[in-house]
Amino acid sequence: MKMEDMILVSVDDHNVEPANAFVSHYPAAFKDEAPRIVDRGGKDAWLWNDTVYPTIGLNAVVGRPRSEFGMEPTRFEQLRPGCFDPKARIDDMNVNGILGSLNFPTMPGFAGGAFITAAQNGAPDKALRAVRAYNDWQVQDWCGAGPGRLIPMVILPLWDMTETVAEIDRMAKAGVHAISFPDNPFKGGLPSIHNAYWEPVWKKCSDHKMVLNCHIGTGSEAAHASDETPIDAWITTMPMAISNSAADWLFASFWKRYPDLRMALSEGGIGWVPYLLERADFTYEHHREWTFSDFGKERPSDVFKRHIITCFIDDQFGLKSLDYMNPDMVCYEADYPHSDTLWPNCPEYLYASINGLSDSVIDAITHKTVMREYSYDPFTTLGSRENCMVGALRHLGRNVDVSPRENLGGLKTDSMDLVGQARRPVTSGEIQKMFASA
């Protein structure tokens, strides 16, 4: 297969909500309470429910030189428009050869954690309106601007099961097949995934063929070894931190009741998965007589391979180890606009890693698994398979400017100051202080 003939769909990208995202979808009587952008010491920040949510872009640094990477930007003008404008996003997808993109929220938190916390702290009605407004913006405005290109994914009012079920049904009618869900809800003050509380969610997602997408950092987070530890250590282990949650989901009992239920370990990588499966099978074989786990005639690895979707950005070892996984449950991700993204050169990096794989396996991990599991049919929408290939998309994006946005037009950020002062390994403590000061 030639690189130009690949069809790339990313199951992990991020949208930065524009300033009018929420208010435009609030009931008229409550528009004054919608999340809005305010100036906070020269930085754009979200204000909602008397709470300020800083760093609008987190580390949405796509297009900046790597020397200027950090955990910002903090103003919309520091971002590539593709971060918050769906039409500009499609341009950036074209120049990167990316056909489809599934996007996690920014302001609400990857799984709506900001709204969940507010509901737990006494504002459930406000939080519910915010969840619904985000979902309507995501489906109607964001994905509506790019049929066949932008794949809708929504958040849920997880603190209220009646409202959660109602929102799943409402979004299913809108054609949604993806939900952002905490990788460990217990860490966010909700029942664990083993609690009967979640049974209606498992059933609804199974009935509506909705994938639960569990992004790293929505429950089990990577720990900073110390304040003096180079931040590189934390960045290195961050994807693998979801392995704790992966094991938790793997040993859950509900898979037996819902054979069609699927979940994804978003931005978790795949290179560590073969050992997790080996260890899980070893654990089951050697300890089940006293732990009383029961997989029947199967092994834990069989359940994982059938129900759990894994995702990778650049993972040569993982791709060489697909025989130990299920290639039909592995997906590609671009992570636009975060600092791990390889934009605008995703096809080049991926093509260098797939040497030796068959065309059928390449097709599975680049687009066919997403099409099957997320009920996604871009070929019909865009007219033909050929229109969806890297070469065709890059032709559409041939005039997109990909030159580095150096120095952000004179704008400076906290991380630029930090890196400039350091000239030594930046530490975990320094990054955490930067977040706190924001």
Q: What DSSP designation does 152 have?
A: P
Cα 302 to chain centroid distance, Å, stands at 25
| Preceding omega of 27 cis (within 30 degrees of 0) | no
Contact yes or no for 187/152 (Cβ under 8 A): no
CA angle 395, 397, 400 (to 5 degrees): 140
On whether the CB atoms of residues 93 and 111 are closer than 8 A, the answer is no
Q: How far apart are CA 101 and CA 97, in angstroms?
A: 11
User: Mind spelling out the 3-state secondary structure of 86-147?
Assistant: HHHHHHHHHHCCEEEEEEECCCCCCCCHHHHHHHHCCCHHHHHHHHHHHHHHHHHHHHHHCC
pLDDT at site 426: 86
Q: Are 263 and 246 in contact (CB under 8 A)?
A: no
Q: Quick check: 317 and 240 in contact, CB under 8 A?
A: no
What is the helix, strand, coil percentage profile of the chain, to 5?
A: 50, 10, 40
Distance, CA of 285 to CA of 303 (rounded, Å)? 15
Length of the chain: 438
Cα 398 to Cα 394: distance, rounded to the nearest angstrom: 6
Is cis: bond before 344, omega within 30 of 0? yes
Cβ proximity of 224 and 428 under 8 Å: yes
Residues in the chain with pLDDT values less than 50: 409
Q: Which domains does the chain have, with CATH numbers?
A: 3-14+89-398 (3.20.20.140)
Residue 419, H or E segment = helix 414-422
Contacts for 164-169 with beta carbons within 8 Å, 24 or more apart? Answer: 164/200, 164/201, 165/200, 165/201, 165/204, 167/131, 167/132, 167/135, 168/201, 168/204, 168/205, 168/208, 168/210, 169/204, 169/208
- 193-212: burial string, b at 16+ Cβ within 10 Å, e else: beeeebeebbbbbbebebbb
| Amino acid occupying residue 370 | V
What type of residue is 39?
D
Q: Coil, helix or strand for 340?
A: coil
The DSSP bridge pattern shows strands 178-180 and 150-151 to be unpaired
Which residue matches tokens 């979808």? Answer: 25
- Dist. CA 128–CA 159, nearest whole Å: 10
Q: Is there a contact between 11 and 102 (Cβ–Cβ < 8 Å)?
A: yes
Which pLDDT belongs to residue 184?
Answer: 97
What are the two backbone dihedrals, phi and then psi, of residue 80, each rounded to the nearest 5 degrees?
A: -65, 140
Question: What pLDDT score was predicted for residue 419?
Answer: 53
How is residue 153 annotated by DSSP?
Answer: -
Structure tokens at 226: 């110390």
pTM of this prediction? Answer: 0.95
Report d(CA 244, CA 154) in Å as an integer.
Answer: 24
Report how far residue 116's alpha carbon sits from residue 111's, in angstroms, rounded to the nearest whole number.
Answer: 9
Pair of tokens at residue 390: 């890297």
Is the Cβ–Cβ distance between 231 and 431 less than 8 Å? yes
